[in-house]
């Protein structure tokens, strides 16, 4: 029986690694009569699909997730900010693709239609489509064991550290949130009612299901701008770096606006003095300082404006840097400061970020909205009091995350609006009754979120199942002071009664209390399952893995789809852009494909379970064994030229996997097939590894960042013909 595993083509370093890894995976899978078929969900792939220039592979996979046979390997993809989107469009146009420019300010219906298509591509366009199940994410035992034997540094912490988190005290999303649970199925549309009574429909009526939770909240721009100015003054007085931590990629409507507020306030005098010029050049603070510099190029006032910016930088607090050597600040590009990557990295670095001189300095971390800022605040205070975590002894914190069917904020994009004036934004049901409403001023950010009942019930079931399977206590992180969480907690308390909890330790705690208890247990070497909503799932599955094993790229992430299939997510792509830069400069790729290796094991297991394919189970077992050897013998990529990189790691995967297949006793045919392969690879090890090393140190031209050329990808990512022949012969 021929079976398919769908493997996603994405972006940046995961995409580059795929060029080398996928031929190996396909060759081994074919021995069990399994086809590995690719689907392109990359940023350029999504752009081309939006304008009918390529097949819509994301739509295909979205529909597939509703099929019980779905078996999808999902690699990290770009959740594009506007600057990234524009760069990808320019590269596509350069390569002859007829796609339109991104209209910053649509002037007619045609441009509005173009903008609407691009808005569906940018930000978190992929995950809400594919995540039709809740998340089970953890560090595999082999990874945890390796980290304990080969510990990384988590810095040095004590009470003298001045690093801290600053958040708004009122008028943020957290403080203004309202939430209800629907007693019966209904519909809701979103309207803006101006002061003069004029009603404008912002979103047409959409269905609501019985038991669904609906939220509405608002971030008041005046309060945000006041907060930013106060924190700038405080950072300067305390002598710490000023930084902002948001998620302008996943939260593609709200967070770029929050980011823009930081840029505007930091450079207030510049934006005021040059308002007319900036309007003429189409400069939007939401796109960051980098876009501002780009649009200034060649203008008669370029030097004058740059001098004014330099003066503002000198007068303000020291800014945290993304790249000190290149002068790229924390306010340059909204997609450069992804909170779930930037905060754990800072905590690992003794609470420091890089300053303009390329030195580590303590930080004020501005996370304006309080919905999730408290977990980072509590984590920093814990480290100050208790010192840094020791990877040799600390416990592990797997996560069960509510994310199915666009749950919570990550599904809010089509329900987030920037208020055009003073008035009320409201949700109105089929009968004309107001379900929820918020008063707004011009510039305020209004956001609605949904969480359906079935995913919540499934989430509770998954949490209980994981707690029992691993004999690990579980904590639901729910804040009684937050309207949304109160509605969720009511359901959790009811649905827990559907399960036998005998012998289990399952608690419900506020996030601030939960992280303290979890960290206390981790410090003592004890494991705890965090059971959280969608955004906190994202944050914690970077924070704890980075502290535990040094990276979130080695995590195993299984999404049991509610329809019965499986989505297997790999690694984390936060460092992907820097890895591409290194590859282009030095022909050295340090992306770690261990996440892909681990994800393939349950994918093969699913094939075996659903189809009775015994060879698939042998592939899974032997790959699991090979993964253990990859870690045991440290065959994961290092960080600099002269050492093993991603392609060399793939060679060792093929070697160890073929050795395990040759040695196993469950399938004589597979053993006979792979015995000569293993022998040849073993014999050629020194030659092949040396050939990969010889390739390093020279610039690698792949013909484009977003749209590399296939022939150049093959040249640079599969450069050792001796190894290619062995793989291709399979």
362-413: pLDDT as tens digits: 999 999 999 999 999 999 999 999 999 999 999 999 999 999 998 999 888 8
pLDDT of residue 250: 82
In 3D space, the residue among 226, 252, 244, 230 whose CA is nearest the CA of residue 171 turns out to be 226
Q: How far apart are CA 447 and CA 56, in angstroms?
A: 28
- Do the Cβ atoms of 605 and 592 come closer than 8 Å? no
Q: How many CA atoms lie within 13 A of 620 on its CB side?
A: 17
- Do the Cβ atoms of 446 and 419 come closer than 8 Å? yes
Q: How far apart are CA 342 and CA 241, in angstroms?
A: 14
- Do the Cβ atoms of 295 and 283 come closer than 8 Å? yes
Residue with tokens 């398919």: 4
Give all strands (DSSP E) within 220-277, no chain letters.
241-244
DSSP state letter for 422: S
pLDDT of residue 2: 60
119-170: pLDDT as tens digits: 899 877 888 899 899 999 998 888 898 899 999 999 999 999 999 999 999 9
Q: How far apart are CA 56 and CA 102, in angstroms?
A: 20
pLDDT at 262 exceeding the cut of 70: yes
pLDDT band at residue 329 using 50, 70 and 90 as cut-offs:
very high
Q: How far apart are CA 639 and CA 620, in angstroms?
A: 29
DSSP state letter for 415: G
Q: Extract the tokens encoding 563.
A: 């329809």
Q: Report the run of H or E that residue 646 belongs to, with start and end.
A: helix 646-663
285-310: pLDDT as tens digits: 999 999 999 999 999 999 999 999 99
- Do the Cβ atoms of 464 and 501 come closer than 8 Å? yes
Please state the φ and ψ torsions of residue 701, each to the nearest 5 degrees: -95, 110
Helix, strand, or coil (residue 40): strand
pLDDT of residue 336: 84
Q: Extract the tokens encoding 216.
A: 């509405």
pLDDT band at residue 116 using 50, 70 and 90 as cut-offs:
very high
Q: How far apart are CA 293 and CA 313, in angstroms?
A: 14
Alpha carbon 421 to chain centroid distance? 33
Q: Extract the tokens encoding 644.
A: 């093993």
Q: How far apart are CA 100 and CA 675, in angstroms?
A: 54
Helix, strand, or coil (residue 531): strand
Q: Extract the tokens encoding 133.
A: 């199940």
495-527: pLDDT as tens digits: 999 999 999 999 999 999 999 999 999 999 999
In 3D space, the residue among 251, 246, 245 whose CA is nearest the CA of residue 79 turns out to be 251
- Do the Cβ atoms of 155 and 360 come closer than 8 Å? no
DSSP state letter for 71: E
Report the pLDDT averaged over residues 678-697.
Answer: 96
DSSP state letter for 730: -
Percent of the chain whose predicted confidence (pLDDT) is above 70: 99
The partner residues of 241 in beta bridges, in order of sequence, read 363
What radius of gyration do the chain's Cα atoms show? 26
pLDDT at 73 exceeding the cut of 80: yes
Q: Extract the tokens encoding 724.
A: 């290619």
Q: How far apart are CA 248 and CA 719, in angstroms?
A: 37
Percent of the chain whose predicted confidence (pLDDT) is above 90: 89
Domain ranges (residues) in the chain: 3-132+561-728, 180-219+401-449
pLDDT band at residue 573 using 50, 70 and 90 as cut-offs:
low
Give all strands (DSSP E) within 561-650, no chain letters.
566-570
Q: Extract the tokens encoding 78.
A: 């770009």
69: number of Cβ within 10 Å: 15
196: number of Cβ within 10 Å: 8
pLDDT of residue 574: 58
pLDDT at 1 exceeding the cut of 60: no
383 contact partners, CB below 8 Å, separation of at least 6: 157, 161, 347, 351, 389
CA distances (Å), origin 487, targets 177, 180, 211: 12, 7, 10
- Do the Cβ atoms of 303 and 98 come closer than 8 Å? no
pTM of structure? 0.88
In 3D space, the residue among 464, 471, 478, 476 whose CA is nearest the CA of residue 526 turns out to be 471
SS3 of the chain: helix, strand, coil, percent, to 5: 50, 20, 35
pLDDT of residue 578: 83
The partner residues of 135 in beta bridges, in order of sequence, read 401
pLDDT band at residue 572 using 50, 70 and 90 as cut-offs:
low
156: number of Cβ within 10 Å: 12
pLDDT at 451 exceeding the cut of 90: yes
Q: Extract the tokens encoding 495.
A: 């649905």
Q: Report the run of H or E that residue 629 belongs to, with start and end.
A: helix 614-632
353: number of Cβ within 10 Å: 25
């Amino acid at each position: 029986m021929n079976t398919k595993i769908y493997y996603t083509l994405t972006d940046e370093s995961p995409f580059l690694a795929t060029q080398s890894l996928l031929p190996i995976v396909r060759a081994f899978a074919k021995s069990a009569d399994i086809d590995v078929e690719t689907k392109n969900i990359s940023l350029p792939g999504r752009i081309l699909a939006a304008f009918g220039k390529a097949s819509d592979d994301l739509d295909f996979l979205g529909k597939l997730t509703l099929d019980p046979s779905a078996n999808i390997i999902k690699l990290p993809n770009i959740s594009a900010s506007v600057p990234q989107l524009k760069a990808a469009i320019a590269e596509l146009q350069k390569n002859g693709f007829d796609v339109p420019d991104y209209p910053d300010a649509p002037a007619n219906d045609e441009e509005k239609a173009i903008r609407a298509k691009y808005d569906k591509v940018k930000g978190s366009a992929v995950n809400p489509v594919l995540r039709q199940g809740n998340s089970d994410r953890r560090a595999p035992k082999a990874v945890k064991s390796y980290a304990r034997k080969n510990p990384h540094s988590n810095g040095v912490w004590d009470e003298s550290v001045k690093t801290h988190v600053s958040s708004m005290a009122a008028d943020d999303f957290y403080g203004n949130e309202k939430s209800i649970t629907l007693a019966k199925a209904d519909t809701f549309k979103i309207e803006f009612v101006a002061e003069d009574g004029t009603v404008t429909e912002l979103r047409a009526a959409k269905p609501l299901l019985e038991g669904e939770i609906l939220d509405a909240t608002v971030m008041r721009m005046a309060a945000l701008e006041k907060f930013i100015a106060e924190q700038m003054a405080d950072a300067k007085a305390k002598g710490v770096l000023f930084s902002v931590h948001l998620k302008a990629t996943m939260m593609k409507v709200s967070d770029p606006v929050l980011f823009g507020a930081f840029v505007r306030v930091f450079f207030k005098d510049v934006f005021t003095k040059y308002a007319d010029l900036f309007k003429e050049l189409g400069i939007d603070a939401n796109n960051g300082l980098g876009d501002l510099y780009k649009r200034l190029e060649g203008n008669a006032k370029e030097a004058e404006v740059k001098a004014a910016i330099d003066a503002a930088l000198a007068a303000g607090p020291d800014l945290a840097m993304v790249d000190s050597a290149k002068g790229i600040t924390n306010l340059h590009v909204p997609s450069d400061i992804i909170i779930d990557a930037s905060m754990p990295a800072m905590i690992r670095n003794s609470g420091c970020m890089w300053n303009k001189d390329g030195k580590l300095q303590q930080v004020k971390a501005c996370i304006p909205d309080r919905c999730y800022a408290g977990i980072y605040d509590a984590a920093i205070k814990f480290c100050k009091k208790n010192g840094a975590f020791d990877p040799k002894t600390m416990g592990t914190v797997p996560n069960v995350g509510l994310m199915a069917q666009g749950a919570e904020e990550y599904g809010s994009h089509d329900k987030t609006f920037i208020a055009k004036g003073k008035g009320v934004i409201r949700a109105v049901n089929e009968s004309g009754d107001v379900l929820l409403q918020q008063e707004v001023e011009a510039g305020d950010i209004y956001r609605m979120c949904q969480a359906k009942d079935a995913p919540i019930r499934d989430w509770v079931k998954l949490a209980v199942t994981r707690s029992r399977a691993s004999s690990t206590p579980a904590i639901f992180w729910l804040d009684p002071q937050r309207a949304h969480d109160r509605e969720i907690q009511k359901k959790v308390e009811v649905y827990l009664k559907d399960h036998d909890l005998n012998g289990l330790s399952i608690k419900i705690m506020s996030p601030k209390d939960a992280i303290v208890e979890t960290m206390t247990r981790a410090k003592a070497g004890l494991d705890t399952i965090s059971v959280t909503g969608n955004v906190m799932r994202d944050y914690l599955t970077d924070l704890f893995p980075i502290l535990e094993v040094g990276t979130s790229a080695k995590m195993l992430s299984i999404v049991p789809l509610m329809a019965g299939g499986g989505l297997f997510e790999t690694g984390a792509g936060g460092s992907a852009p820097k890895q591409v830069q290194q590859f282009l400069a030095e022909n050295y790729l340090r992306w770690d494909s261990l996440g892909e290796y681990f994800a393939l094991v349950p994918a093969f297991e699913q094939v075996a379970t659903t189809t009775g394919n015994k060879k698939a189970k042998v592939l899974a077992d032997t790959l699991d064994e090979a993964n253990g050897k990859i870690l045991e013998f440290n065959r994961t990529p290092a960080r600099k030229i002269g050492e093993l990189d991603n392609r060399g790691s793939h060679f060792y995967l093929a070697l160890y996997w073929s050795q395990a297949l040759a040695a196993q006793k469950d399938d004589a045919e597979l053993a006979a097939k792979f015995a000569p392969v293993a022998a040849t690879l073993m014999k050629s090890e020194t030659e092949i590894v040396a050939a990969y090393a010889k390739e390093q140190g020279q610039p690698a031209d792949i013909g484009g960042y977003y749209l590399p050329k296939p022939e150049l990808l093959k040249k640079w990512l599969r450069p050792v013909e001796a190894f290619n022949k062995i793989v291709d012969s399979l």
